Amino acid sequence: MKRILITGANRGIGLELTKQYLVQGNFIYACCRDTNRANELQSLQLQYKGRIETLSLDVEDEASVKSCFDELERNQKCIDLLFNNAGIIDWSKLDEVTSSSVEQVYKINLLGALLVTRNAVSCLQRSTSPLIINLSSRLGSIHLRGDTQLGGAIAYQCSKAALNMLTRQTSFDLKPFNIRVISQSPGWVKTEMGGQEAKYQVEEAVSMMLHALEKLPHDKTGIFIGEDGEPIPW
């Protein structure tokens, strides 16, 4: 049984990660801003008694992140897998996007992942094979932007490119602790963020992601892969 912490676990990909890992028999720390309004997580707690704990964690708020992990640390908790899943999107183009929107997208998509990662190190060190998965996107690939001409979402695309650099840098910084870090794109998924024109149903995308992670060699760190496990260029 793995102990898995997921941010943004109350909806979309985060909720589906929670469901599928519970079905596999794992223990989940399901994190979201307001646990009292996370109705689906509350239902899962009743269904999987003793195998899911909901935690209040707002990745935008450094004090909230610290408080969450201080509590885990006080109880000497172990984390085997950490999914930095919480994220938002703004589809605005260069001439439309506001500075406040750029700040919020970066604060959640990049700084939130950094804060969670930094505060989770002690819990991850208790695992025999700790892994951090930063939920990225092909829209964050600088190389692929040379091959496609998708406009808009400038704040989102830049934030995911920055998240990929966070993956690379923390893979070096955390290597002495035997903590691996990767970026994974879930593909284009039918969620509130992805919209209904997307390629994958959320159940299919998450199933593919989990299969790819199961096949990931234990020496791989600092890489960027897709939902199918295939490498994505930075």
* Average pLDDT value over all residues in the chain: 95
Residue for token digits 């909806």?
11
Residue 230 lies in a domain: no
Position 149 scores a pLDDT of 56
Residue 160, pLDDT above cutoff 60:
yes
Please write the tens of the pLDDT for every residue from 54-73.
999 999 999 999 999 999 99
Summarize pLDDT for 73-96 with one digit per residue, the tens: 999 999 999 999 999 999 999 999
Residue 66 in any domain: the answer is: yes
Spatial separation of the C-alpha atoms in residues 112 and 51, rounded to whole Å:
25
Number of domains composing the chain: 1
User: Could you tell me the pTM of the whole model?
Assistant: 0.96
Q: What is the pLDDT of residue 146?
A: 59
- Mean pLDDT score, 209-221: 97
Residue 195 has pLDDT above 90, yes or no: no
The string of pLDDT tens digits covering residues 109-135 is 999 999 999 999 999 999 999 999 999
State residue 157's pLDDT score: 95
Is 24 a domain residue? yes
The CATH number assigned to the domain holding 19 equals: 3.40.50.720
Residue 114 covered by a domain: yes
Predicted confidence (pLDDT) at residue 147 exceeds the cutoff of 80? no
Q: What confidence score (pLDDT) does residue 188 get?
A: 81
Instruction: Give a three-class secondary structure readout of the chain.
Output: CCEEEECCCCCHHHHHHHHHHHHCCCEEEEEECCHHHCHHHHHHHHHCCCCEEEEECCCCCHHHHHHHHHHHHHCCCCCCEEEECCCCCCCCCCCCCCHHHHHHHHHHHHHHHHHHHHHHHHHHHCCCCCEEEEECCHHHCHHHHCCCCCCCCHHHHHHHHHHHHHHHHHHHHCHHHCCEEEEECCCCECCCCCCCCCCECHHHHHHHHHHHHHHCCCCCCCEEECCCCCECCC
User: Residue range 206-220: average pLDDT?
Assistant: 97
The proportion of the chain whose per-residue pLDDT surpasses 90, expressed as a percent, equals 91
**Looking at residue 198, what is its pLDDT?**
72
Residue 215: inside a domain, yes or no? Answer: yes
192 pLDDT band, cuts 50/70/90, is confident
Higher pLDDT, 140 or 188: 140
By residue range, what is the domain housing residue 186?
Answer: 3-225
pLDDT band at 29 (very low <50, low <70, confident <90, very high): very high
218: pLDDT strictly greater than 90: yes
